[in-house]
Chain A
Amino acid sequence: MLIELKDVNKTYNNGQPLHVLKGIDLSIDKGEFVSIMGASGSGKSTLLNILGILDNYDTGEYYIDGRLIKGLSEKQAADYRNRLIGFIFQSFNIIGFKTAVENVELPLFYQGVSRSKRHEMAMEYLDRLGLADWATHYPNEMSGGQKQRVAIARALITKPKIILADEPTGALDSKTSEEVMQLLGRLNREEGVTIIVVTHESGVANCTDKIVHIKDGLIGRIEDNRMHRASVFGADTIMK
């Protein structure tokens, strides 16, 4: 198993204690294309933060590829995030004053890859996502779909074991949303990247092979969705 969560609990102590995750058990295998679905407040964002080593959990165990992720130093956590995980965010989160190619290079900069090497690699990834012509453009000159593709290139460039996508289509229209989901699907099928998508849109979830429902801090149903029939509305397109 690539990812294993055993009885993971998380409580926020902001004034009134809030028990968000109440014992999550979850296993995700290498090469899976999984979505985590739930209403807002169900704990799916917290789960994503824990999966992405962006946040700590209180009790339980979390393994990536057999490595226990617990009580890491900031430096170690940064290194794992850099090498094991690629992030795709709802609001793209690409840096506004850097060009597309500079944004894609950034994770390699923190790995200490030489300047020419990382530029070359960034160009290669942008080319694969059809953005070679936009390499020197700034994010405010690009459409939402293009920005998200830049973010995907940035997530892929370190060849991570897991891609974590937090509402990757939340800020996109239905056509672009579909394109992005197809792109993620293709990456999963052709390159075998493990992708975890967190969403509340059933159409988006329908594009993935496995749907994990989360409700009130607990894992509910786990649907096998290799036929992509989970959503009646999502059979052909993503409803907005």
Chain B
Amino acid sequence: MRFDIDSYREIADSLVRNRSRSLLTGFGVFWGIFMLLFLIGGGAGLKQLVTSNFEGFATNTTIMFANNTSKPWQGYKQGRAWDLNYTDVERMKQMVPELETVTPVISSWGQTAVNGTNSVNANVKCVAADYSKIEEPKLRFGRFINESDVAQERKVCVIGRRIYEGIFPEGGDPCGTFIKVGAVYYQVIGVDYNSGNISINGSADQAVVIPLSLGQKIFHKGTNIDLLCVTGKSGVRMSSLEDRMRQILARSHNFDPTDKQAVFMVNTEQMFALMDNLFTGLNFLIWLVGLGTILAGIIGVSNIMMVTVKERTTEIGIRRAIGATPRDILSQIILESIALTLVAGSLGIVFAVQMLRLTQTIVNHIPDMSGNFQISFWTAVAAVVLLSMLGVIAGLAPASRAMSIKPVDAMREE
């Protein structure tokens, strides 16, 4: 193969000579690569948007709370109410060794947090120190509730982001300040910026978190608790423990161990699995549509190159007569095909990147939404490599046809 500036100029010439044809053909490839990259970027961004709702949440958590029974059992009627209590925490810890954390929660909704003249609606969550293993706090200031807080029933609280913004409009470190929630003053010891939308008994943004022991007394709960949150040790599938946990509770609270309604269990594992499946499906669709569109574009290129070769039979015949080897002709046609594909495809990449940027800007303007919609640099590089390969493939059939042109054909065409 012989290569110099003229080879490139010739390729450019022959593409420019049929400007509208090259444009229309190139558009197929342009649109294909745009679709693929835009969908990949958009899909990744969407996934981020959705998973940000699960932020800071342990993936193998089960949350349970007591519900009315749905089956009669040992003389008790169905529809009986019961409560989880403190002993259930110890019982779970001892009887289910696969569990890493067992922690109770008491909550009180519809409270108001007040600091000076500012007030904001709040939910009070009463937790033990190990609750941080269920819903990991992202502390902006201070610390989380610790074991001493619980043991000594200290009147301290950790506040969520919205509470902080609502009652401390001037910003700054609020730690040490006393705020009033309900009838009680609590000293602020931390600010939690966790903004995940999945949360237990209300979002973390709007929570005032206080020590569990204190909450029991303030809200007159006795030994009853509202929720029991458990996480499994790594490698444990929570769904496999559900029946055993229900049986343990059934035995101590006298309900039918097969009564699934009596204990309401939410398993995050299933939710994550559902999401994963959803996005696997979505990705499959993205690739199917994207690659399909590119393929259509490439077939278009191949087709047009075929027509070009047919049109240029005389020219190719002349070249062969004056000494072009079949390989020279092959490389010429394939290079033209690659050039067309690459130029159109690169424009498609640029356009996709710009559109993704626009999408990202628009989405991130919506409050509480943020995601990275952009494709990575290496995705773009891979796209370019893919394009050159597709260019070669598109050029193969027309090139082999061009190679079969004999020099005599040039003279016969006249």
Measuring CB to CB, which residues of chain A are less than 8 angstroms from any residue of chain B? Answer: 49, 52, 54-55, 74-75, 78-79, 81-83, 87, 89-91, 93-97, 106-107, 109-112, 114-115, 154, 158, 166
In the complex formed, the residue of A with least CB distance to B414 is A91
List 16 A–B pairs whose Cβ atoms lie within 8 Å, in order of A's numbering.
Answer: A52-B321, A55-B408, A78-B328, A81-B320, A83-B323, A91-B411, A91-B414, A93-B314, A95-B319, A97-B14, A106-B319, A110-B323, A110-B324, A110-B328, A114-B4, A115-B6
Is B318 engaged at the interface, CB distance under 8 Å to the other chain?
Answer: yes
Check B321–A87 contact: CB distance below 8 A. Answer: yes
Known: A55-B408, A109-B2, A166-B411. A95 touches B325 (CB 8 A): no
Per the 8 Å Cβ criterion, residues 311-348 of B in contact with A are 314-315, 317-328
Q: Please measure, in the bound complex, the distance between the C-alpha atom of A115 and the C-alpha atom of B315, giving whole angstroms.
A: 21
Question: Please, which residues of chain A bring their CB within 8 A of the CB of B407?
Answer: 52, 54, 81
In the complex formed, the residue of A with least CB distance to B9 is A102
Q: Please measure, in the bound complex, the distance between the C-alpha atom of A125 and the C-alpha atom of B13, giving whole angstroms.
A: 25
The 5 closest A-B pairs by CB, nearest first: A82-B323, A110-B323, A78-B325, A54-B407, A107-B322
Check A107–B408 contact: CB distance below 8 A. Answer: no
Q: Please measure, in the bound complex, the distance between the C-alpha atom of A114 and the C-alpha atom of B7, giving whole angstroms.
A: 12
Contact of A79 among B17, B321, B323, B408 (CB under 8 A): B323
Q: Please measure, in the bound complex, the distance between the C-alpha atom of A208 and the C-alpha atom of B4, giving whole angstroms.
A: 41
Question: Please, which residues of chain A bring their CB within 8 A of the CB of B315?
Answer: 95-96
Check A95–B318 contact: CB distance below 8 A. Answer: yes
Is B410 engaged at the interface, CB distance under 8 Å to the other chain?
Answer: yes
Known: A54-B406, A97-B13, A115-B4. A89 touches B411 (CB 8 A): yes
In the complex formed, the residue of B with least CB distance to A118 is B6
Known: A95-B315, A106-B319, A115-B6. A78 touches B411 (CB 8 A): no
Known: A49-B408, A97-B17. A81 touches B321 (CB 8 A): yes
Question: Please, which residues of chain A bring their CB within 8 A of the CB of B410?
Answer: 93
Residue-wise, chain B 3-22 has the 8 Å CB interface mask toward A (1 for contact) of: 01110000001100100000
Q: Shortest beta-carbon distance, A54 to chain B, in Å?
A: 5
Q: Shortest beta-carbon distance, A74 to chain B, in Å?
A: 5
Q: Please measure, in the bound complex, the distance between the C-alpha atom of A87 and the C-alpha atom of B13, giving whole angstroms.
A: 25
Contact of A82 among B4, B322, B327 (CB under 8 A): B322
Known: A54-B408, A91-B414. A74 touches B326 (CB 8 A): yes
Known: A78-B324, A109-B6. A93 touches B408 (CB 8 A): no
Question: Please, which residues of chain B bring their CB within 8 A of the CB of A83?
Answer: 323
Q: Please measure, in the bound complex, the distance between the C-alpha atom of A182 and the C-alpha atom of B244, giving whole angstroms.
A: 110
Known: A54-B406, A78-B324. A110 touches B411 (CB 8 A): no
Q: Name the residue among B4, B314, B319, B322 with the largest chain A CB count within 10 angstroms.
A: B322
Q: Please measure, in the bound complex, the distance between the C-alpha atom of A141 and the C-alpha atom of B318, giving whole angstroms.
A: 20
Contact of B325 among A74, A93, A154 (CB under 8 A): A74
Q: Shortest beta-carbon distance, A102 to chain B, in Å?
A: 8
Question: Please, which residues of chain B bring their CB within 8 A of the CB of A158?
Answer: 323
Check A111–B318 contact: CB distance below 8 A. Answer: no
Measuring CB to CB, which residues of chain B are less than 8 angstroms from any residue of chain A? Answer: 2, 4-6, 13-14, 17, 314-315, 317-328, 406-408, 410-411, 414
In the complex formed, the residue of A with least CB distance to B326 is A74
Question: Please, which residues of chain B bring their CB within 8 A of the CB of A95?
Answer: 315, 318-319
Question: Please, which residues of chain B bring their CB within 8 A of the CB of A87?
Answer: 321-322
Question: Please, which residues of chain B bring their CB within 8 A of the CB of A81?
Answer: 320-323, 407
Question: Please, which residues of chain B bring their CB within 8 A of the CB of A91?
Answer: 411, 414
Check B321–A75 contact: CB distance below 8 A. Answer: no
Question: Please, which residues of chain A bring their CB within 8 A of the CB of B2?
Answer: 109-110, 112
Q: Shortest beta-carbon distance, B12 to chain A, in Å?
A: 12
Q: Name the residue among A49, A107, A109 with the largest chain B CB count within 10 angstroms.
A: A109
Q: Please measure, in the bound complex, the distance between the C-alpha atom of A74 and the C-alpha atom of B4, giving whole angstroms.
A: 23
Question: Please, which residues of chain B bring their CB within 8 A of the CB of A89?
Answer: 411
Q: Please measure, in the bound complex, the distance between the C-alpha atom of A10 and the C-alpha atom of B117, giving whole angstroms.
A: 110
Check B323–A154 contact: CB distance below 8 A. Answer: no
Q: Please measure, in the bound complex, the distance between the C-alpha atom of A83 and the C-alpha atom of B17, giving whole angstroms.
A: 31
Q: Please measure, in the bound complex, the distance between the C-alpha atom of A111 and the C-alpha atom of B14, giving whole angstroms.
A: 22
Q: Shortest beta-carbon distance, A50 to chain B, in Å?
A: 10
Q: Shortest beta-carbon distance, B273 to chain A, in Å?
A: 61
Question: Please, which residues of chain B bring their CB within 8 A of the CB of A109?
Answer: 2, 6
Q: Please measure, in the bound complex, the distance between the C-alpha atom of A162 and the C-alpha atom of B318, giving whole angstroms.
A: 17
In the complex formed, the residue of B with least CB distance to A166 is B411
Question: Please, which residues of chain A bring their CB within 8 A of the CB of B325?
Answer: 74-75, 78-79, 110
Question: Please, which residues of chain B bring their CB within 8 A of the CB of A115?
Answer: 4-6
Q: Please measure, in the bound complex, the distance between the C-alpha atom of A74 and the C-alpha atom of B343, giving whole angstroms.
A: 33
Q: Please measure, in the bound complex, the distance between the C-alpha atom of A110 and the C-alpha atom of B314, giving whole angstroms.
A: 17
Contact of B323 among A78, A90, A93, A114 (CB under 8 A): A78
In the complex formed, the residue of A with least CB distance to B318 is A93
Question: Please, which residues of chain A bring their CB within 8 A of the CB of B328?
Answer: 78, 110
Q: Please measure, in the bound complex, the distance between the C-alpha atom of A62 and the C-alpha atom of B314, giving whole angstroms.
A: 27
Question: Please, which residues of chain A bring their CB within 8 A of the CB of B411?
Answer: 89-91, 93, 166
In the complex formed, the residue of B with least CB distance to A45 is B411
Q: Shortest beta-carbon distance, B26 to chain A, in Å?
A: 20
Q: Please measure, in the bound complex, the distance between the C-alpha atom of A90 and the C-alpha atom of B315, giving whole angstroms.
A: 15
Known: A109-B2, A115-B6, A166-B411. A54 touches B322 (CB 8 A): no
In the complex formed, the residue of A with least CB distance to B5 is A115
A75-B325, A82-B322 given; name 11 further pairs at CB < 8 Å.
Answer: A54-B406, A55-B408, A78-B320, A82-B323, A90-B411, A93-B314, A93-B318, A93-B410, A95-B315, A97-B13, A107-B322
Q: Shortest beta-carbon distance, A105 to chain B, in Å?
A: 8
Check B322–A106 contact: CB distance below 8 A. Answer: yes
